[in-house]
């Protein structure tokens, strides 16, 4: 397939580009706006690759999207382009609506008009909202609780409407908390790992007892690939790691693996609208022959090693725009936070 993969310089997108190029004969055009978390270093090893082209641009740019689909005879679109960080969505919701809803709409319409034969929308389990007990199924009501997850839900239902209305062959994946190498250090695991390496405080929101299901990026990309190739049009597929952990437990594991003291932990003011627990039932995707392969403790150790061995990758990020964001998000909270056990 000739594939247009949007957001391919980001975390999940760049892993997916590498996976698809190495495992098949696909030709891939990566479209990425290279905003704060898009990073060409994530694709650096693909310079000169005969089946890959990189284009810098915005998914909201309709003429550009149409031209790329035409010129590269695109047959499939995978939309990984998104504003993804919940905390940032509380500061600037409009940019989330623009990219996650309007941008998805531009891709859908351009793809439909050009007769593209596959459209995969990479979404999130956060569209289900906070799940106190049990697991979210694909048919559950959507109850997003942040501008981030609400904008992703908007993109999802828009995509699904293109199947209902036009029979445009859309599939949607809803992944859980993904971790691994190359993840921008605003997210929980890379933030805590890089802070701990530098003996900086680790800001745990609220009581730290919120639960997430951790999914290795390799397993997530394998799930996306399976849905791309074998998913039924008009269908949603949950992708989860089956590794439910409380945040406090993960933070303690990170500190233990790095040989650092629990004194680095700080309980800070909670995130407004914080989902207490997320968990998904992946039976539908398992039915396509996929299952997660990487046990959390193994994946976490490998991820820690990657951050230890790639300091220049994350130090460059943490010394740039990120500093201002971090200051705004955490300085006051950390000053007022409480230590573990106090």
266 φ, ψ (degrees, to nearest 5):
-135, 125
User: Which of residues 55 and 142 has its CB atom nearest to ligand DAU in the complex?
Assistant: 142
User: Which of residues 110 and 191 has its CB atom nearest to ligand DAU in the complex?
Assistant: 191
The residue within the footprint of ligand DAU, chosen from 18, 26, 88, 187 (CB under 6 A), is: 187
106 binds ligand DAU (CB under 6 A): no
User: Which of residues 168 and 267 has its CB atom nearest to ligand DAU in the complex?
Assistant: 267
> Which residue out of 32, 58, 126, 156 is catalytically annotated?
126
Nearest 10 degrees: Cα torsion 19, 46, 295, 302: 170
The residue within the footprint of ligand DAU, chosen from 21, 191, 228, 282 (CB under 6 A), is: 191
The residue within the footprint of ligand DAU, chosen from 6, 100, 176, 253 (CB under 6 A), is: 176
The reply to whether 237 belongs to the active site is no
177 binds ligand DAU (CB under 6 A): yes
Please identify, among the stretches 17-25, 79-87, 130-138, 291-299, the one whose residues bind ligand DAU according to the rule CB under 6 A.
79-87
The residue within the footprint of ligand DAU, chosen from 39, 100, 124, 136 (CB under 6 A), is: 124
The residue within the footprint of ligand DAU, chosen from 212, 220, 245, 284 (CB under 6 A), is: 212
Binding to ligand DAU (CB under 6 A): which residues in 225-254?
247
The residue within the footprint of ligand DAU, chosen from 18, 52, 85, 245 (CB under 6 A), is: 85
The reply to whether 125 belongs to the active site is yes
> Which residue out of 83, 125, 213, 218 is catalytically annotated?
125
> Which residue out of 58, 75, 148, 218 is catalytically annotated?
148
75 binds ligand DAU (CB under 6 A): no
The residue within the footprint of ligand DAU, chosen from 32, 58, 75, 126 (CB under 6 A), is: 126
- What does the H/E/C string look like for the chain? CEEEEECCCCHHHHHHHHHHHHHCCCEEEEEECCCCCCCHHHHHHHCCCCCEEEEECCCCCHHHHHHHHHHCCCCEEEECCCCCCHHHHHHCHHHHHHHHHHHHHHHHHHHHHHCCCEEEEEEEHHHHCCCCCCCECCCCCCCCCCHHHHHHHHHHHHHHHHHHHHCCCEEEEEECEEECCCCCCCCHHHHHHHHHHCCCCEEEECCCCCEEEEEEHHHHHHHHHHHHHHCCCCEEEEECCCCEEEHHHHHHHHHHHHCCCHHHEEEECCCCCCCCECCECCHHHHCCCCCCCCCHHHHHHHHHHHHHHCHHHHHHHHCCCHHHHHHHHHHHHHHHCEECCC
Binding to ligand DAU (CB under 6 A): which residues in 276-335?
278
The reply to whether 311 belongs to the active site is no
204 binds ligand DAU (CB under 6 A): yes
Catalytic annotation, residues: 125-126, 148
Residues that bind ligand DAU (CB under 6 A): 84-86, 124-126, 176-177, 187-188, 191, 203-205, 210, 212, 247, 278
């Amino acid at each position: 397939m000739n594939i247009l993969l949007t957001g391919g310089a980001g975390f999940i997108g760049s892993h997916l580009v590498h996976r698809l190029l190495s495992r098949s004969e696909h030709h891939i055009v990566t479209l990425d706006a290279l905003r704060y978390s898009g990073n060409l270093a994530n694709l650096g090893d693909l310079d000169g690759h005969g089946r890959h082209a990189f284009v810098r641009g915005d998914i909201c740019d309709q003429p550009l999207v149409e031209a790329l689909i035409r010129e590269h005879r695109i047959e499939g679109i995978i939309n990984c382009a998104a504003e993804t960080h919940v905390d940032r969505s509380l500061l600037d919701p409009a940019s989330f609506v623009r990219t996650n809803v309007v941008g998805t709409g531009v891709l859908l319409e351009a793809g439909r008009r050009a007769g593209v034969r596959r459209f995969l929308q990479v979404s999130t389990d956060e569209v289900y909202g906070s799940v106190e007990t049990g697991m979210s199924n694909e048919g559950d009501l959507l109850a997003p609780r942040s501008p981030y997850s609400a904008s992703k839900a908007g993109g999802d239902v828009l995509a699904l409407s293109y199947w209902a209305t036009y029979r445009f062959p859309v599939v949607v994946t809803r992944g859980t908390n993904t971790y691994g190498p190359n993840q921008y250090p605003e997210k929980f695991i890379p933030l805590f790992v890089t802070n701990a390496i530098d003996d900086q405080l680790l800001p745990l929101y609220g009581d730290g007892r919120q639960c997430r299901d951790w999914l290795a990026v390799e397993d997530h990309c394998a799930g996306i690939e399976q849905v791309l190739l074998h998913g039924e049009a008009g269908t949603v597929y949950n992708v989860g790691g089956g590794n439910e952990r409380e945040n406090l437990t993960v933070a303690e594991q990170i500190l233990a693996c790095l040989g650092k003291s629990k004194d680095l932990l700080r309980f800070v003011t909670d995130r407004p609208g914080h989902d207490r627990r997320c968990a998904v039932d992946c039976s539908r995707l398992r039915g396509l022959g996929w299952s997660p392969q990487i046990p959390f403790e193994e994946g976490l150790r490998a991820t820690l090693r990657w951050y230890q061995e790639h300091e220049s990758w994350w130090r460059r990020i943490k010394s740039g725009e990120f500093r201002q964001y971090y200051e705004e998000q955490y300085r006051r909270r950390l000053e007022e936070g409480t230590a573990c056990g106090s």
